[in-house]
Amino acid sequence: MIPVHSPASVNTFAAVDEAPGLSAIPSRSQAAPENTWDLSKLFPNDKAWNDGLAAYETMAARIPDFRGSLGTSAESLADYLDFSRDFGLLEERLNYYRDLRQTEDEGDSAARTMSGRFMMAAAKAEAAASWAAPEIQAIPDADMAGFLRNPRLEEYQIYLKKLLRYKSHILSDKEERLLALHAEGEGVAGDAFSVLTNVDMDFGLIDTPEGKRPLSQSTWSVFMEHPDQDLRCRAYNGFYRVFDAHKTTLAALYGGQVKQDVIHARIRGFPSARGAALFPDDVPESVYDNLVSTIGNNLAPLHRYYAVRKRVLGLAELRHYDVYAPIVPKAVKRTTWNEAVDMVTKALAPLGDEYVGTLRSGLLGRWADRYENKGKRSGAFSAGSYTGEPYILMNYKEDSIRDVFTLAHEGGHSMHSWYSAMSNPFMHYGYTIFEAEVASTFNEELLFRYLKNNADTSGLKVYIINKRADDLLATLYRQTMFAEFEQQTHALEERGTPLTVDVLRETYRNLLEKYFGPDMVLEDTSDLEGLRIPHFYRAFYVYKYATGISASLALAERVLSGGEQARADYFTFLKSGGSRFPIASLQVAGVDMSSPTPVEAACKVFSRLVEELEAELTGGTAS
């Protein structure tokens, strides 16, 4: 259960894209201030943060004083929620500041100390407030209906109604306490998986033209993108040889996670583990089924893409280690930060002056921490809070077109956060993960169209088309394959079928054969991929990436072709925050994710990209 003192904001630290390792990189102290973010809207400095933490601990000590009073009157409930709001605002500022400071240099001992102190204080506060949600849910319906008519509770209406949805799934005080005591152990399977695969597994070294290089979870993708097929093959076999040696343990860990998901759902009275996972967002299970079935009916474009890949690479057989090999030369184009901002804002011009002007000002100002430095967290994210700026972490490289797309993506998250915070009370401004990927991938689609239409060389144009096709494949098709695997494994457990290593491998191999199609020759170890995906330890959320990209493609087409009303509808979505559940929020924008239509349209977009790519690379004709 979400603590009452904290809003359900999940739009933080989204959309990570891996960045290269460190080499000859400046220290944090060498970073020019204008290239770093300005955290002063959160706290002016570390001393002010320390003072804020002291105030937070003082406030936390008051939490027990409200116990037993929440159901006595609307005023008493409002008193607590006013306190909870103010406490939550301070908590969020503390949390964002310490985390953003730590990402600047993961080895900074002062920042790590701040994080440790905050986490201890927050855990203590959460325990102190654990009684609040059950106490609110225990208020009789008739009394609560009367309370909600009180003007003092107006800004908490949505928050309370969402909280009360859980009422039928709440147990007795004693049972809830037992579950709370057990909660600490619920992450053991995932933690053990992470330690095993990232720490204990030794993948050895690979001979390369540059000498021996370490094979690891982080270098795996580099080897799979290498143009030398023999090197890819050796890396692939070496990598999965280690997973094969641990397959029984990995199967036991994942099987244990699935069993825990199913047990948790049954304890709470949900019809299935999937139903329990979709409940917080009020997403019908039919939405999930629509996605899986619609993608399953539209695999022909995907299979055509793999046929193109096989032909362009000149392979007699397309193997599993060939699916990431480059088929288009990397476009060499240097783009400075200011030039990237120009590209992104020109691409987003259809969204109007306020959107473009705000984003441009932020990106040229101090929203973003732009470049790599020693110890800085890799990848990219957007961290939009209620009080601070919608900060963006980048590790921007001027020779990477991909980083321009990443900037557009994170800018989409940040502007979504900006509009949500500007348009909603704190207690329900946070939007869901289901919605989070819409605004970001919407921006990517507009940037893709702009760059494709303005490419100054044919090489750049085909590179951009290939990149877009690969991105859609990864988000639309691959995430749906993952979603279908989760659906099948949980259904097997719910029917009483033990999830042995053989059952899991067979289930995953069938999906590999289905999605990769007739041009793929799988290895004996290919199905071990299903035992190495960390997403599976957080069940039933990867489908949101596929629904998100489907919604964003539909909305981009609608906004670009639909005039002022279509744009206004999109901004209504951006401003919704947590005021609506995601299906309703997207319906307001003009896309109905309860229907298979957006997913079908996304498959057609992918199909057109494959046709264009094939025409460019093999002399075929784009139909």
Active site residue ranges:
410
Name the β-bridge partners of 206. Answer: 213
CB atoms within 10 A of CB 46: 16
Write 332-338 long-range contacts (CB < 8 A, 24+): 332/399, 333/399, 333/401, 333/460, 334/398, 334/399, 335/398, 335/401, 335/403, 335/404, 336/398, 337/35, 337/370, 337/396, 337/398, 338/364
Q: Which two tokens stand for residue 61?
A: 């000590």
What 8-state DSSP symbol labels residue 327?
A: S
Determine contact, residues 406/123, Cβ cutoff 8 Å.
Answer: no
What 8-state DSSP symbol labels residue 213?
A: E
Nearest partner of 598 among 537, 566, 553, 567, judged by Cα: 553
The secondary structure element, H or E, covering residue 207 is strand 205-208
Nearest partner of 303 among 323, 330, 328, judged by Cα: 323
Distances (CA, A) of 601 to 18, 176, 200, 308: 29, 45, 44, 22
Question: How far is it, in rounded angstroms, from Cα 5 to Cα 529?
Answer: 40
Question: How far is it, in rounded angstroms, from Cα 51 to Cα 46?
Answer: 9
Distances (CA, A) of 120 to 95, 123, 187, 336: 12, 5, 18, 42
Name the β-bridge partners of 520. Answer: 318
Total residues belonging to the chain: 623
